[in-house]
Amino acid sequence: MDLLAQLNKLLAKTNIELSEKQKQQLVGYVELLAKWNNAYNLTSVRDPRQMLIRHIMDSIVVNDRLKGSTFIDVGTGPGLPGVPLAIVRPDSHFVLLDSLGKRIRFLKQVQHELGLNNIEPIQARVEEYQTDIGFDGVISRAFASLHDMLSWCHHLPNENGLFYALKGIVRDEELTELPSGFVVKSITELKVPELNEQRHLVILFAK
CATH number for 3-206: choose from 1.10.287.70, 3.40.50.150, 3.40.50.1470, 3.30.460.80. Answer: 3.40.50.150
pLDDT, tens digit, for every residue of 27-41?
Answer: 999 999 999 998 899
Q: Is 146 annotated as a binding residue?
A: no
* Mean per-residue pLDDT, 8-13: 98
141 is in an annotated binding site: yes
| 85 labelled ligand-binding | no
Q: Is 190 annotated as a binding residue?
A: no
112-129 pLDDT tens trace: 999 999 999 999 999 999
Segments making up each domain of the chain, as ranges: 3-206
CA distance 52 to 85: 13
- Integer angstrom CA distances of residue 155 from 112, 116, 151: 30, 27, 9
Count Cα neighbours of 36 within 13 Å in the Cβ-side half-sphere: 21
pLDDT in tens, 142-180: 777 999 999 999 999 999 999 999 999 999 999 999 999
Q: CA 102 to CA 98: how far, in whole Å? A: 10
pLDDT of 1 strictly over 80:
no
Residue 116: predicted pLDDT: 98
What confidence score (pLDDT) does residue 143 get? 78
This prediction's pTM: 0.97
Q: Which pLDDT belongs to residue 17?
A: 97
Confidence of residue 11 (pLDDT cuts 50, 70, 90): very high
68 is in an annotated binding site: no
pLDDT at 83 over 80: yes
**In Å, how far from its chain's centre is CA 55?**
9
